Structure 1
Amino acid sequence: MAAPHTTIGAVFSAGAEEFHRWSPLLWDPVGEATAAVAAPVPGERVLDACCGAGASALPAARAVGPGGVVDAVDLSGSLLAIAEHRAHLEGLRNIRFHQGDATAWKAPEGGYDLVQCALGVFFFPDMDRDSWALAGRLRPGGRLVVTVWEKGALGGWGQAFKSAVETEREWPPSPQSAQLARIDTAEALAAWLEGLGLNGARVQRRQLDVPLTPDSAWDLAMGSGTRALVAGLTPAAIERVRQRFTDGLAEASVSDLDVRILTGTALA
C-alpha cells in the first residue's frame, strides 16, 4: 500500500465492512495465533497496537481476566466500533478501545506486561523507531510480540491484484512492502527484535490455506491496505480492475489464499 501514514486509518475505515467479513477466515486466526504466542496470563496489563476489529485484543482480554486490562489502539474508528461491539457481545469489561496512533500511546505507571502488534509494524512511518517506542512501553522483563507476513505469503492473490491494477494505473512504490521485506523470514525477524534492544528473541511460524471465491478475494482487496491502490479511480475503472482480478485468479488457478505468518517475541 502506498498511502501516507496519515491516511491509513481512513483507508481501513472505508473498507471496514469488507475487512470484517474476513475476520473469521483470516484476521481472527492470525490474532488468536498472535495471542497464543504472547501467552497473556490473568492480571496482566496488555497494549494491543493496531488492534483493528479486535482479532488479537479479544483473546488477550479473555486470557488476562477481570484482574487484567487490555488497551487496544487503532487509527480506524470504524474498525474500533466493530471491536467494541464484539467485546460487548462477549461481556468483556476489561478491554478499552482508543482511536489514535499506538506509537504515541503512553504506558501506565510501571509499564505493560505485554505489547502485541499483529500485522501492523510495517505500516509505521519508521518501523524501527516506532517499534522501539512500543517496546519502551514495557516494564522490565515485559514481552513484545509482533506478527508479520512471511516471505511469499498471499503471493497468488497479490500478483493477480497487482496485474489488474496495472491495467489502469502504474503500481506505486510501497514503503510498507519495503519495511516488511526486512523482517519476512524467521532469522530476519529475530535479528530485528534483538536490534531493538530486546532479548531472547524467538519466532514461531504458522501456515493456513483459506479457500477463495471471486467475492471473498475482492473483499480482501477492498478491506485491507490494498484498497488505497484503487482510490481515485472511477467506478467503471474499479469494476474493470475487479473483473481483470477475477479473471487473473482463474487463469492462475488461485483457489486458496496462501497465509503464512511469523510471530516473534522478545523481552525488554
Structure 2
Amino acid sequence: MTDASKFQFTGPSVPQAYEEFLVPRVFEPWARLLLDEAKLVQAQVVIDVATGPGTVARLAAPMLGPKGRIVATDIARPMLDVARAKPSLTGAAPIEYVESPAAPLSAPTGAFDVVLCQQGMQFFPDRPSALREMRRVLKPGGRAVIAVWAAIERNPLFVAIHTALRATTTPELAELITAPFSWNSTTELKMAAEEAGFHDVRILTRSLPMVFEQGVEQAVRSLSATPVYPGVIALSQAVQDAFFRRLRSELTPLIVDGKVIGEMVSNIIVAHA
C-alpha cells in the first residue's frame, strides 16, 4: 500500500515549481470549486488546513472581507515561505500562516465557522485524527469542505506519469506518484467523516480539465512540481533519458490542438460539525 505521507513538499525547488506549473492550472480552478461549496459569507473565521502556497486562503480572503479572518496551516515550511512572500490583499480578510501538522492542529477549539482542506487529507499520516481535529476547531454547526482526488485511473495525466515511471524507473518512484490518489473510496471518505463526529455528510464528485497550453514539453516540465522529481533526477542519465522519452510518448494521446489536456476528478467531503 502507498505510504502517502512520503509525498512531501519539503525542498525549496519543488514548491516554486508547484506554484508555477500546478497552481494556475490545477489548484486555483479547484479552489474556486471548493469555495463554491463552502458558501462563505462576510466576516466569517476560516481555517485552511494544508494550505500549501496559500491558494485557497487567498481566494477565500476577499469573500470574507476585512472583518473576516483566515488561519492557514501547513507542515511544509517551504510552502509557507512561498505563501508569505505573496503581496497582501486589499479589502480582504487577513491571513495568518501557521506551521502545523494536521494532527495535532495548532488552532483553538470551536473557533472557526468553516474548515477547508484542498488535496491534503490523503497525505496525512493519521487521517482519522486529522478529521477529528478539523471537527474540534469548528464552531457548533460549522462547515467542513475537504477535497481528495479520485482514483488515479480517472486522472489521465498522472496515469501517463505513472506508466512511464513504472516502465523505466524504480518501483518506489512509480508508487510515490500514486500517493495523491491513495484515498479514493467515497464510501471510506463518508464513513471516516462520520466517525470523526461530522453529520450531514455528503460526498460530491467533480471534474475539471488540466490544460498545458504549451504542449508536451510544458507538461513534462511540470513533473518538477511533484515530490517525485528529486528522485527522478537522482537516477543515472541513461535512466532519466529513457523515462522522459517514455513520458513524452504517454502524453501524446492527450494532445488536442497542440495542448496537453487531461481531466482531473476529485471527491469533495461536505459536512457539518
TM bucket (normalised to shorter chain) is 0.7 to 0.9
- Sort the Cα spacing of 1:16 and 1:106 in 2 relative to 1 into closer, same or farther, 3 A: closer
Contact 1:127 1:179 in 2 (8 A): no
Match of 2:170 in 1: 169
What's the counterpart of residue 211 of structure 2?
211
Judged with a 3 Å threshold, the aligned counterparts in structure 2 of structure 1 residues 219 and 112 are, in CA distance, closer, same or farther, namely farther
**In structure 1, what residue type is equivalent to 2:169?**
E
**Percentage of identical aligned residues:** 23
The normalised TM-score by structure 2 is 0.83
Separation of aligned partners in 1, 2:224 and 2:121: 20
Matches within 5 A, 1:56-95: 56-88=56-88, 92=92, 94-95=94-95
Q: Tell me, in whole angstroms, the C-alpha distance in 1 between the residues paired with 2:209 and 2:178.
A: 22
Q: Which amino acid aligns with 1:76?
A: A
Contact 1:203–1:262 under 8 Å retained in 2: yes
Aligned residues of 2:105 and 2:133 also touching (Cα < 8 A): no
Q: 1:150-209 deviations in whole A, cap 9, x for unaligned? A: 235663222221232231222468599579554443x54333322322110123332212
- Give the drift of 1:124: 0.3
CA RMSD of aligned residues (A): 3.0
1:240 corresponds in structure 2 to 242
Shift of 1:115: 1.2
Aligned counterparts of 2:241 and 2:176: Cα–Cα separation in 1:
27
Deviation (angstroms), 1:17: 2.3
CA 1:193–1:160: 2 relative to 1, 3 Å: same
Aligned counterpart, 1:47 = 47
Equivalent pairs, count: 265
Residues of 2 paired with 1:38 and 1:152: CA distance?
25
Report what 2:195 is aligned to.
Answer: 195
Q: 1:175 to 1:209 in 2, by over 3 A?
A: closer
**Distance of aligned partners of 1:130 and 1:65 in 2 relative to their CA distance in 1, 3 Å threshold:** same
- Residue 269 of structure 2 is matched in structure 1 by 264
- Unaligned stretches of 5+ residues in structure 2: none
SS at 1:103 equivalent: coil
Q: Which amino acid aligns with 1:56?
A: V
Judge conservation of contact 2:64–2:92 (CA < 8 Å) in 1. no
Greater Cα offset, 222-231 or 162-171: 222-231
- Partner SS, residue 205 of structure 1: strand
SS at match of 2:142: strand
TM-score by length of 1: 0.84
CA distance in 1 between partners of 2:270 and 2:91 (Å): 29
